[in-house]
Amino acid sequence: MTRFSIGLLALLACLLAAVPARAEAPSRVVSINLCSDIVAADVAAPGTLKSVFRLGRDPEDSPVAALLADVPPNDGRIEDILPFAPDLVLAHEWTSPFTLDLLARMNIPVATVKDARSFEDIRENIRTVAAALGREEKGEEVIARFDAETAAARRESANAPTAILYQDLGSAATPNSILGRILSLTGFRNVVTEENVVGLAYPGIEDVIAYRPELIALGIYRPEAPSQANAVLEHPALRLYRERYAREVRLDAGGWTCSTRFVAVIASRLAATHDAMTRSSSTLPRGEGQTAEVSVGRGHR
């Protein structure tokens, strides 16, 4: 072997030694936020989720509660995390900076999801978690399913019915919120036009009625536990308007918790409502359709 060949082999050996070995996928994952719980339940390999935030197991808050029922809960505190000796922690951009700083000091890897305000944000959160888990292919499968479900819920309408998505505490979805985007996707025109960073407006009962929405979509949180927060949805004036002039659909507010891929379920419900409104209005003479059972109030504008 020539001196040149020996030198070349030595150089190759050095280069190979400098290349780090491919890290193994995390096997002891702790999620400390409901939003990361929901995404991780979809993409994590079986048995790798060692603990999730306590709300991830609550069916009123979590659409994946059944999948996480046997996973130990935590409260997101550092003392809840360390006993599991995690090799990855999943969190949210709003997770306690104190907790995140302690994890960084202990060199425990952390991947964070963000507050999703668009369909692309939902896809990005899935990709973030999937990449951290070494499950990119699974993440793309979940995204493909989400895209197919939202595509199936898309409705075009030259004369889009007006709508408002009204929730507990009298909040209404603004156009550029996830819920506002779902209204638009499913063929409705949002009567709320103002925008803000929160994605919620707070019109009074009189304002809601003055908007004359043809659809009132009510977001109900914990319907079996009435509260002062949702009492506004049963205001006599609003209830009378719904009964006489608008179609009503009740939506489980848990369906849009954290704005994950499960908002596609809400989109499907609204698309079906759009179809029903379109069918009923097309079978009526012009000027009819003032009751909740039919075209929901076009004659009352």
Over residues 215-240, the pLDDT tens digits come to 999 998 876 666 776 788 889 999 99
Residue 18 has pLDDT above 60, yes or no: no
pLDDT grade, residue 12 (50/70/90)? Answer: very low
Is residue 246 a contact partner of residue 193, using CB atoms and an 8 Å limit? no
Distance CA 263, CA 193 (A): 21
Task: Tell me the three state secondary structure of residue 166.
Answer: strand
Instruction: Give bridge partners of residue 190 from the DSSP assignment.
Output: 163
Six-digit token pair at 40?
């991780």
Cβ partners under 8 Å of residue 180, min gap 6: 165, 173, 174, 190, 192, 199
Residue given tokens 């029922």 in the structure block? 69
Distance CA 54, CA 62 (A): 10
Six-digit token pair at 188?
């409705």
Residue 268 has pLDDT above 50, yes or no: yes
Q: Could you tell me which of 160, 125, 175 has the C-alpha nearest to residue 146?
A: 125
Is residue 32 a contact partner of residue 76, using CB atoms and an 8 Å limit? yes
Distance CA 151, CA 64 (A): 22
pLDDT tens profile 70-111: 999 999 999 999 999 999 999 999 999 999 999 999 999 999
Strands 247-252 and 200-201: unpaired
